[in-house]
Structure 1
Amino acid sequence: MDGSFYHPFPTVTRSVERDKIVTAREAVRLIRRGDTVATSGFVGIGFAEEIAIALEELFFDTRESDDGPRDLTLVYAGGQGDGNSKGLNHLAQEGLVRRVIGGHWGLVPGLQRMAIQGQIEAYNLPQGVISQLFRDIAAHRPAHLSTIGIGTFVDPRHGGGKLNSRTTEDLVSLTSVGEIECLLYKTFPIDVAIVRGTTADASGNITMEKEALTLEALSIAMAARNSGGIVIAQVERIADANSLNPRQVKIPGILVDCVVVANPENHWQTFAQPYSAAFASEFRVGASSIKAIELNERKIIARRAAFELMANSVVNLGIGMPEGLASVANEEHVLDLFTMTTEPGVIGGIPAGGLNFGAASNTQAIIDQPYQFDFYDGGGLDIAFLGLAQADREGNLNVSKFGPKLAGAGGFINISQSAKKVVFVGTFSAGGLHVVAADGQLNIVHNGNCQKFVDAVEHRTFSGKHATERGQHVLYITERCVFALRPQGLELVEIAPGVDVQKDIIAHMQFAPLISGKLKLMDERIFRDTPMGLRSILLGMRLADRFSLDAEKNLFFINFEGHDVATSEDVHAIREEVERRLGSLATKTHAVVNYDNFSLRPEVLDEYSAMVVTLADRFYSGVTRYTTSGFLRMKLGDALKGRQVAPYIYESSETPKEPAHSAASGVVL
Structure 2
Amino acid sequence: MSFKEITSREAAAMIPDGAVVSANGFVMAAVADELCYALEQRFLETGAPRDLSLVSVTSVGDGGERGLNRLAHKGLIKKLIAGHINLMPKLQQMIFSEDIEGYNLPQGVIAQLMRDIGARRPGLVTQIGLGTFVDPRFSGGRLNSISKDELNEIVTMDGKDYIRYKPFPKIDFAFLRGTRADRNGNISMEKEAAVADALSIAQACHTLGGKVIVQVEETVDDLPPHAVRVPGVLVDYVVRTSDMKFHTQTAAADYNPAYSGQTRAPQGAMPTLPAGPRRIIALRALKELKQGGVVNLGIGMPEGIAAVAEEKGVSDFTLTVEAGGIGGSPLSGVEFGATLNPEAIIFQHQLFDFYHGGGLDQAFLGLAEADPQGNINVSKFGPRIAGCGGFICITQSTPELYFIGTFTAKGLEVEIADGKLRIISEGSIKKFKRSIEQLTFSAARAKELRQKVVFITERCVLRLTDGGLKLTEIAPGADLEKDILAHMEFRPLIADDLREMDADVFL
- Deviation (angstroms), 1:344: 0.8
Alignment of 1:641-652 (within 5 A): none
Deviation per CA, 1:492-522, whole angstroms, max 9, x where unpaired? 1111111111111111100000113120210
Name the counterpart of 1:52: 36
Name the counterpart of 1:659: none
Name the counterpart of 1:367: 346
Task: State the distance in 1 between where 2:251 and 2:414 align.
Answer: 33
Task: State the distance in 1 between where 2:3 and 2:178 align.
Answer: 18
Gaps (5+ residues) in structure 2? none
1:35 has 2:19 as partner:
yes
Name the counterpart of 1:425: 404
Answer whether contact 1:21 1:202 (CA < 8 A) is retained: no
1:333 has 2:333 as partner:
no
- Deviation (angstroms), 1:26: 0.9
Q: What amino acid sits opposite 1:173 in the alignment?
A: E
Alignment of 1:505-520 (within 5 A): 505-520=484-499
Name the counterpart of 2:457: 478
Deviation per CA, 1:74-111, whole angstroms, max 9, x where unpaired? 10012111111111101111111111101111111110
Out of 102, 114, 121, the position equivalent to 2:101 is: 121
The normalised TM-score by structure 2 is 0.98
Task: State the distance in 2 between where 1:221 and 1:453 align.
Answer: 43
Name the counterpart of 2:377: 398
Answer whether contact 1:160 1:172 (CA < 8 A) is retained: yes
- Deviation (angstroms), 1:527: 0.5
| Number of residue pairs the alignment of both structures matches | 505
Answer whether contact 1:101 1:122 (CA < 8 A) is retained: yes
Name the counterpart of 2:129: 149
Task: State the distance in 2 between where 1:27 and 1:147 align.
Answer: 39
How well do the aligned residues superpose, as a CA RMSD in angstroms?
A: 1.2
Name the counterpart of 1:260: 239
Q: Return closer, same or farther for 1:19/1:222 CA change in 2, 3 Å cut-off.
A: closer
Out of 462, 484, 489, the position equivalent to 2:468 is: 489
- Deviation (angstroms), 1:295: 1.9
- Deviation (angstroms), 1:236: 0.5
The normalised TM-score by structure 1 is 0.74
Task: State the distance in 2 between where 1:267 and 1:291 align.
Answer: 25
Alignment of 1:73-152 (within 5 A): 73-152=53-132
- Deviation (angstroms), 1:432: 1.0
Answer whether contact 2:26 2:59 (CA < 8 A) is retained: yes
Deviation per CA, 1:458-513, whole angstroms, max 9, x where unpaired? 11111111101110000010000011011221111111111111111111100000
Deviation per CA, 1:46-74, whole angstroms, max 9, x where unpaired? 000000000111112221xxxx3221111
Out of 244, 255, 259, the position equivalent to 2:223 is: 244
Alignment of 1:345-360 (within 5 A): 345-360=324-339
Answer whether contact 1:145 1:185 (CA < 8 A) is retained: yes
Name the counterpart of 2:250: 270
Out of 27, 40, 49, the position equivalent to 1:69 is: 49
Task: State the distance in 1 between where 2:341 and 2:484 align.
Answer: 41
The structure with more radius of gyration = 1
| Identical residues among aligned pairs (%) | 51
Higher relative contact order, structure no. (Cα contacts within 8 Å, ≥ 6 residues apart): 2
Task: State the distance in 2 between where 1:363 and 1:272 align.
Answer: 18
Gaps (5+ residues) in structure 1? 1-16, 529-669
Task: State the distance in 1 between where 2:23 and 2:41 align.
Answer: 17
- Deviation (angstroms), 1:199: 0.2
Q: Which runs of 4+ in 1 moved over 3 A?
A: none
1:466 has 2:445 as partner:
yes
Name the counterpart of 1:591: none
Task: State the distance in 2 between where 1:72 and 1:297 align.
Answer: 43
- 1:38 is paired with a residue whose SS is strand
Q: What amino acid sits opposite 2:29 in the alignment?
A: I
Q: What amino acid sits opposite 2:31 in the alignment?
A: F
Answer whether contact 2:3 2:185 (CA < 8 A) is retained: no
Task: State the distance in 2 between where 1:287 and 1:484 align.
Answer: 34
- Deviation (angstroms), 1:19: 5.3
Deviation per CA, 1:321-362, whole angstroms, max 9, x where unpaired? 111111111121112x00000001111011111221111122
1:206 has 2:187 as partner:
yes
- 1:42 is paired with a residue whose SS is coil
Task: State the distance in 2 between where 1:136 and 1:36 align.
Answer: 18
Out of 163, 169, 193, the position equivalent to 2:149 is: 169
Answer whether contact 2:2 2:184 (CA < 8 A) is retained: no
Task: State the distance in 2 between where 1:186 and 1:306 align.
Answer: 40
Q: What amino acid sits opposite 2:427 in the alignment?
A: G
- 1:174 is paired with a residue whose SS is strand
- 1:28 is paired with a residue whose SS is helix
Task: State the distance in 2 between where 1:464 and 1:321 align.
Answer: 21
- 1:384 is paired with a residue whose SS is strand
- Deviation (angstroms), 1:18: 5.4
